[in-house]
Amino acid sequence: MRGIEAALYVLTEVSKGRFASESLRKVSDRMTEGDRILASSLVYAALRRQTLWKKVCENFLRFPFDSLSWCTRHALVIGAAGIIELRHFAPMVLVSALVDEIKKRGLEKEARIVNAVLHRVEERGKFIVDEMKKSSSFQDKALLGGIPLFVAYQWKDTWGQAETLKLINLFRIRPYASLRVLPKDHIPSLVKGLKQDHIYGWPSPLLECSVRTASFAFPPNLPGFNEGKVTVQSESSMLAGEMVTRLWKDGLILDMCAGRGIKTGQIATLLPHAKIEAWELSKGRCAAARRELKRLSISQRVIIRQGDSLSMSPQSTPNLVFLDAPCSGSGTWSRHPESRWALTKEKMEELVQLQKGLLRKAVDLVAPGGLILYSTCSLLRQENEQVIAEVLADNHNLIEMSLPLSGRHVRKGRPWGTYIWPLLPWLDGFYMMAILKRNQEV
């Protein structure tokens, strides 16, 4: 498969709700190394600033962009991103390959449109983008940063314009992979093994069990991966798991949203004496979580259950509830740029209702005197402080417990909880709040 064909395929998969990285991985063994690099560069350049490329193309269209077929829209976005952002290959080679792809699908008229528009983008596109860079308009800055406008305005309301512009720029940092290494005495041999694979890795100054790499992709055959000693996980995610282990004293830990079991596995590895029950709605993720726990050799110690946490009953009353809530993922938008464009105001409202429902359920379930850790990988106040505010308003026996987090990457929520700011390539944006359910009603 050629790189340009693969890029079109991946954008089609993304529009069906799939992750770009997974879709790229699916076709990677059908490509040469050069085509793999080309496909991945085009896909990420296109996805990071999709609305910007659309806007540039609209300058040269006489009818609405959205009236074109999906495939043509993808070709235009890939073409504009490639021509303006990627300087290492000839634009006309890209344009003719994209035109051929559209022709192959029998869309002769749209192929002519792609050809005409992308030639104009080649002549004028860079100038249009340079003019936007000079503009002081907030809207242009959001477009250039690849942040959906309604989110940029919500951040502006929360953090103010100056902070929001800094945050938008942080989303241009290229994310790198960090590795959770447990037991941590495996770190030296991992670093050595990575070096043999030409990957630079070094122990993180932030977390004892983390190794940072300067690699974007998941390095296959990591030394220690099959034995469960190494797991790809962002440092913010590791911090959330670590907070659970710091809050635990005794009794059952209930993980309400286990996903693929990444944090569940971390918690169970760090707390060999804790009893853990983990729930997950999705059948596929539940199966992935079971595989993950097997890889870590801890399947015996964790009960994984598939079902809706809004209506479940755990086997006993938990002393600690971990609610790693489903969210917009806005803190991980550097890593998963496709999620930026999947979020709509309506989707956001649905998520907020779900988050409130799950948090209310956590409050009902946790033992008096017990704790809840609420976390999201979102930097949107609606999914964080506002969810907490509503649940706290209905339950006067709940209070915030402070978390042992400090450093330049830590920010206080307003007024509750703590944000991890995505200041470094290994840190996603995260929010966490520990809640104590007091023993007596007040």
Ligand X SMILES: C[S@@+](CC[C@H](N)C(=O)[O-])C[C@H]1O[C@@H](n2cnc3c(N)ncnc32)[C@H](O)[C@@H]1O
Please give the residue ranges that form the binding site for ligand X (CB under 6 A): 257-263, 279-282, 285, 308-310, 324, 326, 354
| Residue 213 or 236 having the CB closest to ligand X | 236
Please provide the DSSP assignment of 150-190 as one string.
HHHHHHHHHH-HHHHHHHHHHTTSPP--EEEESSGGGHHHH
Please name the amino acid found at residue 165: L
- DSSP character for 248? -
Please provide the DSSP assignment of 415-436 as one string.
SSSEEEP--STT---EEEEEEE
Short-list 177, 174, 182, CA closest to 194: 177
Q: How far is the CB of 354 from ligand X (least distance, A)?
A: 6
Task: Using CB positions, name the residue nearest to ligand X.
Answer: 259
Q: Are 234 and 179 in contact (CB under 8 A)?
A: no
Q: Rounded CA gap, 228 and 296, in Å?
A: 4
The answer to the question of whether 100 is labelled as a binding residue is no
CA distances from 368 to 94, 168, 252, 438 (A): 63, 41, 13, 6
237-251 in b/e form (b: 16+ CB < 10 A) is bbbbbbbbbebbeeb
Q: Which residues pair with 227 in a beta bridge?
A: none
Short-list 320, 340, 321, CA closest to 329: 340
Q: Rounded CA gap, 35 and 291, in Å?
A: 32
| Residue 114 or 181 having the CB closest to ligand X | 181
Q: Which of 71, 257, 327, 377 is catalytic?
A: 377
The answer to the question of whether 383 is labelled as a binding residue is no
Angle at alpha carbon of residue 51, lines to 49 and 52, rounded to 5°: 65
Q: Decide if 377 is catalytic.
A: yes
Q: How far is the CB of 280 from ligand X (least distance, A)?
A: 5
The answer to the question of whether 280 is labelled as a binding residue is yes
| Residue 225 or 279 having the CB closest to ligand X | 279
| Residue 212 or 285 having the CB closest to ligand X | 285
| Residue 18 or 55 having the CB closest to ligand X | 18
Could you count the other beta carbons within 10 Å of the beta carbon of residue 399? Answer: 13
Please provide the DSSP assignment of 310-364 as one string.
TT---SS--SEEEEE-----GGGTTT-TTHHHH--HHHHHHHHHHHHHHHHHHHH
| Residue 13 or 280 having the CB closest to ligand X | 280
Per the annotation, binding residues are 280, 308, 324
Per the annotation, binding residues for S-adenosyl-L-methionine are 280, 308, 324
Which residues form the catalytic set?
Answer: 377
